[in-house]
Structure formats: C-alpha cells, structure tokens
Amino acid sequence: MKVLKFGGTSVASADVIRQVRDIVNHAESDRVAVVVSALGGVTDRLLETMDIASRQDAAYRKALKGIEDRHLEVVRELMPMKSQSGILSKVKSELNVLETLLDGAFYIGEITPRLSDRIVSFGELLSAFIISEYFTSSGLTAEFKDSRELLLTDQNHGKAAVDFKESNKRIREYFEQEKAAVVVLPGFIASSEDGNVTTLGRGGSDFTASIIAAALEAEELQIWTDVSGMYTANPKIVKQAKPIAHISYEEAMELSHFGAKVLYPPTVQPVLAKGLPILIKNTFEPDAPGTLITRKSPEEGRTVRGISYIPGISLLSLEGPGMIGIPGISKRFFEVLSMANISVVLITQASSEHSICIGIADEDAPRAIREIDKAFSYERSQGKIKPVAHEKDLAIIALVGDQMKNHQGLSGRMFSTLGKNNVNIRAIAQGASERNISAVIRKEDVKKALNTLHETFFEENIKQLNLFVLGTGNVGAKLLEQLRKQKKYLKDHLRLNVRVLGISNSRKMYFDEQGIPLQQWSDLLQKGLKADPKEFFKTIQHINARNSILVDNTASEKVAERYPQYLRESISVVTCNKIACSSAYRNYKQLKDLASQYRAPFLFETNVGAGLPIIDTLKNLVASGDEVREIKAVLSGSLNFVFDHFNEDTSFHDVVRQAQEEGYTEPDPKIDLSGIDVMRKILILARESGFQLELSEIENRSFLPEEALKTRDNDSFFAALKKHESSFQKLVKAAKAKKCKLKFVASLKDGKASVGLQHIPAGHDFYSLAGSDNIVLFYTKRYPKQPLIVKGAGAGADVTASGIFADIIRVGTY
Ligand code: ADP
Ligand code: ASP
Ligand code: MG
C-alpha cells in the first residue's frame, strides 16, 4: 500500500488530472490511497465567496458561478460523453447545497466557524468525487471514500485536533473491507463527534494523507506538488535554490514549521512514529528525483540544510523596572498566551529577566496585547511593568539543519551576511533543539535576506553582484559592453554573477529585477521612464537586492551628493566621478566612514589615472605600514596629450580641440587645461596617503591666460585659446631652448601639494611619457631613493571602464 497526495495545483485542470492518473497507474503498488486537495485556488475562492455573502453583498452569486463553471468544465473535459450527464448532475446537486449554505450566510449576514468549515469542505469533496469518477471511467478500479467518515476530530473548527485512536481504527477497518485497487479520498476535511464538518488547517491535505499512511503502515507516503521536492529555500523566492535529495524528519519538520509550505507542519509526526518514508515529488516533472524524508539523512556533511521564513510576524515585548522582583513573571506571561490559544513562534529572553520578547502571528497580536495588559494590570498600575510594546509586519527567517549544533560560527556567519546587506535584525533565537537559528527582520528585507543567506550557505561561493549604472556616455557604454563580454568569465573564474538591474542617463532610466539583457540595454533604456535621481535611488531601495552596487560614470555633482544615501543602505559605490573625493575633506571623510560603518565599499580607483592601479597601490602601501614621503606625477592624460602634440608647427587651439574630439578631455576641457582636474587628483592621492588637505590649499601655477580661465562656456574658451596662441608658443620655445619637454606635474611633499607646468630634461622619468599616459612616482619609507612607479594609459573610455570594472570585482571579492 502506498498513499499518494496531490495538491491543488496538481489537480487544477483536466490536463493535470490526466497526468495524475498516469502517476497513480505507475505507482508500483498493488493498492493505492489517493488523497486530493480542492482544485487549485478553490479553497481561497470559497473563503472569499462566503466572505462576500456574509457582508450581504449579492456579488457572492457571481463568485459562486465561477466556482461552479470551473468544476463543470473539468467534468466535461475529462469524462466521455456517455457518462458525463450522471456525473454533471451529481456535481450540480452538490453545488446546489453549497448555494443554499451561501444564501443562508447572505441572509443572516454572518459566517460561523462551523459554517465556514462546511462551506470549504465542498472544494475537496468535489475534486475527490470527480477524480474518482474519472479514474473509473478510464479503466482503473477506483472507489471514492468520504474522509469525514474516517477522520474524527474535536470541534475546533478551522484547525481541528485529530482523535488518532478512533480515526486509525476507522481507517484500518475501512481499508480491510474495501478491496478496490485505488481509493480516492478528499484531504483536509474531517468530522467531529457531533457530526459536523471540521477541517485540519490550511494546507491540511498533506496531514490527511499522512494520517492514513501511518494508520495503514503504508510502504511510503508520496506528496505530489508543483515543485521538485523540498528545496534549500522557497524556489519561488530564491531562484538558485535546489531540491534537497534526502533530509531527516526533524529537519523537514523544522523547515515546514518555519514556513516551507511544501509540507504542512503536522504532516511529519504520524509517519515519523512509524518510520515510514515520505517522498516529495513534482506532478509536472515526475522523473525528477524529489526529496526523500526518513529518520536519518545520509548527507551528514552539510550543516545548514535549508532556509525558511514565516511572514506576518509581530514582536511583543514586556519590559519594566520591576520585572526582576516579581516572581514567576514569565510563567504567568506564557500562561496568559496559552489560555488565549495564541501560539508563540519565537521567544527571546535576556538572561537578566529584564524583558521578555516573543514573536507571534500578526493577526494574534491585538488579542495577545489585550490579554497580557489585562493580566498585568496591577503591576502596570504600580509602574513596575510597561504596557506591551508591539512591532508588526516582520518576518522570521531560519537556518535549519540537524548538525548545526556541532558547528561553531554559523550564527556569526549568518549575522555578518545579513549585516553586510543592511538587513536590520530585530530579534534572534536559537531553537531549543539547536536545529535552527532564527532571526526576526522587516518583511521588506525577506527576499534579500533569503537570497544572500542562500548564497553564503549553499552556492559554493557564487556571489551575485547587482549593479545600478548611472551614465551611459563613452565610459558607461564601454563598461556595459565589457560586462556583457566578461559575464561568463566572471562566473567561471571569479565565481561572480554580475547583473545590471538598473541603468540611467540624464534622460531615461530603466530597471529589470531579473537583470537587464546587456545586448539590448540601449533600446530598453529608450523605452524606460523619465530619468530622476531621487526615483532612481528609491527604486533601488525598493528592489532591495543583495550586494547592490551603484556605478557612477558621470561627472555630476548632483549624483555625487547622493552617495551617503546609498552607503547608508549598504549599497556600495564605485565611481569615476572625482567630485565627491575632491570636495571638502569633511565629505570625503564622511563617505569613508559610512563605507566602513555599513560595510559597503566606496571605490574610486578611476579618479586618478583611469584604469591604472594607482589608488589601490597606494592603499596597499599604507595598509602594510609604509609611509608616503613624496609623490611626483603626471596625472592628466589630457594635458599630456596636448603637450605631446603641441609644437611650433601646430596651434594650441587645434590640439586641444583634437584632444576633446578624441575623448581625452572632460566634456568641459577647461577643467583639464586649467589644472583643476590635476589638483583634484593630487588632492585625492594626498588624502589617501593620510593628509587632511583641502583643494584650496593646493598651489596651482596655471599656464592659461586670465581671459581663458574666466570663460563660461566651451565656445568662448576655445576662442580665448585662439586669441592667446602666441603666449602658448612662448611656452614651447622656452622649453625647447633648454632642450626640455613641457609636462604638467603634480607633486606632494611634506603634506603640501602643488601643480604646474615644468621643464622636463631628457633622461627624467617623465621625459618620454607619450600620448595620454600617466605616471606616478611614490617615494616612501620603503622606496626612499628609487620610487615605486606606476605608469601607463591614463585616459580614454576603454581603460576608464576597465578600471571601474576592476573596482566592481574588488567589491565582489570584499
Ligand atoms: P500543494 O498545493 O501541492 O500542497 P503548496 O502550495 O502547499 O502545494 O506547497 C508548494 C509550494 O511551497 C511551492 O510552490 C513553493 O512555493 C512553496 N515552498 C516554500 N518553501 C519551500 C521549500 N523550501 N521547498 C519547496 N517549496 C517551498
Ligand atoms: N485545499 C486546502 C487548502 O487550500 C487544503 C490543502 O490544499 O492542503 O488549504
Ligand atoms: Mg500544500
């Protein structure tokens, strides 16, 4: 004998019911008990319909019609013409009874728990009846048996307690005398001593099947559902979740108690007592192995077996200065809750007994508060205990595994993973069984928390990075292209799954929580919403993805101003925008502090020398205890390009124009030519070296004539360059006379920084610097005479994008 249970989605339509028949037919057992749920969604529809009726809203008739049509259609599709009418009329007469009950609810304007059970029972009754008739018509020897005649319960409608002794007896007697190969029974429903219909709680069909399996000591209980077993986390929320091949009863029970809906929590108990295996299988993928649940699982190695969550949790806490003095406070507290029939999902009590904090279902909270406040009214009036504090709309997430107790450090890993992602933990509890560690968090954080914990405990180091890219100009476009091309490499070699969830330029913004397909980013962006930095931030906050990174490819001050907002959400910031780091020292410091406080890296390697590892090198020097004494550098690819091409045969104006056109300057070339850009860079290097410097303290010996410096737009700037050509020619001639080259040099010595044009003689490290290359000489305690040199291409979209890329990887491996 095997017992097979099919859930709502497994019997939702004629097509799946045919599939169910095949599964039953191949069950490899001489006898099979088939327990079915109502057709998918019907229980919910019935509850809604009775709710409408009880509000005396005639719309319930329309809702009922929908339920009727659904059943009649399934009969028509399943049954051969000749046997249709008999079954249709049987179904219709049942539906008439249902209608009468709903009419009653409508006229009285009320639903009692007893009537509610009676009404929902039609879901399972009808599905079991239809399925058994279909089985018979398709050649199986099948019998329908009304579970209400087998399962006896108390009168706790909605979630009745089973009288196992009597129920087991009735089940055994029935199956002894009934010889049909297949018996089809409705799940979920039972009856009480006084003959009324009761139900076993939402999702209770699993329990019905388990009770029958245990009573008959079946070989196996099979739960057929819409997923391929019990997964490491709810597969609807965690895409990377995998079915668990084999799990122990206790682990399965713990996971289901903590929200893994695939198995109704009480289901394990009856079969556990008899040691019968449970197999969870997928009706839509019958060949998938599914999950086997037995006494011991052979997969001992793994500590954490699954992660689950319970939504809709309230935290109540009782506190007060007098609590220590009052004896038996927690005893009384829990007695009150137990008398009120409120189940406590989680308890945390500080060992000082200063406060008690519990997690219960949101819907129980108002009642619990009333009862507790009533029970302690005397102590409250004495000021010894404060009124119960209540926080709602929370969720519990739990890590579950038999072996967890033998491993140190799991909770540390759990909480640091959550912390890094800015998931605020409201309370923590370790189950007495030590088979679970649970935490109470905000419901908005559930998806992120489950995914990030899953990544930490199950995904063998594949880490997902979620990027939000601002700016799609030269650099942004190149970056997106590099990300697209390197996606597979990053996954295979660095175990990073890098996705772009949002893109914005100054006109449009576009989001896709599943990852934007990077071949089409440009078209998709066109179709996006109007760009808005505030909305951009809010959407990212709402998406609430783990390991989120803001990538700023703009030069915008408005964007830079928002970095603190992002860091406070533990969203890392990677930027080539120099504004933030070169603004007031106070801002720079604040960003650095926020980054460490919220454990969200703030990286800006490309602020100096584009893709060259200048800041990273400096950081490593400082971190390893070295001291920077002097920095000499050519840091402007743009200026280097300009002075490399400028000579007596060219015009300064034309060379600058060419540099701009080839993308070697900022959009506003004056920022480069005036030396401001180099000032910002040396400022950043000075700060990274440990000096508390401001931009205004840097000496700038600008070579630009006053008039050019004062211009307000590119056109007048270029006009001024043209006008002062002779002064530029003078610079070249003076250098040439000394056999020197002109280089715009930045230096830092003894904490003082300056920038300006210098004559560089042959043989100097800077002399042969060509094109848009940059060079930095670090003189430090360890490199006192021969400096540490970083040299290479220091401008251009491609290398800048690759520098940003490198920072993104740094975040990924942080
Ligand atoms: P049925 O109607 O077949 O009883 P349920 O909806 O009650 O099906 O249970 C199956 C659902 O349980 C899945 O579709 C999935 O969304 C949810 N679920 C939650 N946690 C888990 C988990 N850890 N493993 C598998 N499914 C889970
Ligand atoms: N049909 C019932 C419900 O939806 C029982 C079940 O499906 O297990 O809760
Ligand atoms: Mg279920």
Nearest CA to ligand 1 atom 4: 7
Ligand 1 atom having least distance to the Cα of 205: 4
Nearest one of 503, 506, 443 to 315, comparing CA atoms: 443
Q: Does the CB atom of residue 234 touch ligand 1 within 6 A?
A: yes
Q: Which residues pair with 306 in a beta bridge?
A: 400
Ligand 1 atom having least distance to the Cα of 7: 3
Ligand 1 atom having least distance to the Cα of 237: 16
Q: Does the CB atom of residue 262 touch ligand 1 within 6 A?
A: yes
Gyration radius (Cα) of the chain, Å: 36
* Whether pLDDT at 300 is above 70: no
Nearest CA to ligand 2 atom 8: 203
Ligand 2 atom having least distance to the Cα of 205: 8
Q: Does the CB atom of residue 122 touch ligand 2 within 6 A?
A: no
Per-residue pLDDT band for 319 (boundaries 50, 70, 90) equals confident
**Mean pLDDT of all residues in 634-640:** 91
Q: Is 508 a catalytic residue?
A: no
**Mean pLDDT of all residues in 715-731:** 95
Ligand 2 atom having least distance to the Cα of 44: 4
DSSP string, 665-695: S-SSTHHHHTSHHHHHHHHHHHHHTT----G
**pLDDT tens, residue by residue, 589-636:** 999 999 999 999 999 999 999 999 999 999 999 999 999 999 999 999
Average pLDDT, the chain: 93
From 185, 205, 267, 280, mutation site for ligand 2 pocket: most ligand atoms within 8 A of C-beta? 205
Ligand of minimum distance to the alpha carbon of 251: 1
**How much distance in Å is there from the Cα of 290 to the middle of ligand 1?**
13
Q: Does the CB atom of residue 807 touch ligand 1 within 6 A?
A: no
Ligand of minimum distance to the alpha carbon of 121: 2
143-176: string of b/e by CB count within 10 Å (b at 16+)?
bbbbbbebbbbeeebeebebbbeebbebbeebbe
Q: Does the CB atom of residue 318 touch ligand 2 within 6 A?
A: no
Share of the chain above pLDDT 90, in %: 82
What gap in Å lies between CA 314 and CA 346, rounded to an integer?
10
**How much distance in Å is there from the Cα of 534 to the middle of ligand 2?**
44
Per-residue pLDDT band for 404 (boundaries 50, 70, 90) equals confident
> Helix-strand-coil percent breakdown of the chain, rounded to 5?
45, 20, 35
Ligand of minimum distance to the alpha carbon of 117: 2
**pLDDT tens, residue by residue, 779-796:** 999 999 999 999 998 888
**pLDDT tens, residue by residue, 502-537:** 999 999 999 999 999 999 999 999 999 999 999 999
Nearest one of 709, 685, 704 to 635, comparing CA atoms: 685
Q: Would you state the pLDDT for residue 299?
A: 66
Q: Does the CB atom of residue 730 touch ligand 1 within 6 A?
A: no
Q: Hey, how many other C-beta atoms are within 10 angstroms of the C-beta on 617?
A: 17
**Mean pLDDT of all residues in 579-592:** 96
**Mean pLDDT of all residues in 666-683:** 92
Q: Does the CB atom of residue 235 touch ligand 1 within 6 A?
A: yes
**How much distance in Å is there from the Cα of 307 to the middle of ligand 1?**
13
Q: Does the CB atom of residue 8 touch ligand 1 within 6 A?
A: yes
What gap in Å lies between CA 642 and CA 673, rounded to an integer?
9
**How much distance in Å is there from the Cα of 365 to the middle of ligand 2?**
25
**How much distance in Å is there from the Cα of 241 to the middle of ligand 1?**
13
Q: Would you state the pLDDT for residue 432?
A: 63
What spatial distance separates the first Cα and last Cα of the chain, rounded to whole Å? 55
**How much distance in Å is there from the Cα of 39 to the middle of ligand 2?**
9
* Whether pLDDT at 196 is above 70: yes
Instruction: Decide if 580 contacts 588 (C-beta within 8 A).
Output: yes
Q: Does the CB atom of residue 123 touch ligand 1 within 6 A?
A: no
**Identified catalytic residue from 681, 741, 743, 791:** 681
From 35, 224, 262, mutation site for ligand 1 pocket: most ligand atoms within 8 A of C-beta? 262
Per-residue pLDDT band for 571 (boundaries 50, 70, 90) equals very high
What gap in Å lies between CA 440 and CA 433, rounded to an integer?
18
**pLDDT tens, residue by residue, 50-66:** 999 999 999 999 999 99
**How much distance in Å is there from the Cα of 205 to the middle of ligand 3?**
7
**How much distance in Å is there from the Cα of 719 to the middle of ligand 1?**
71
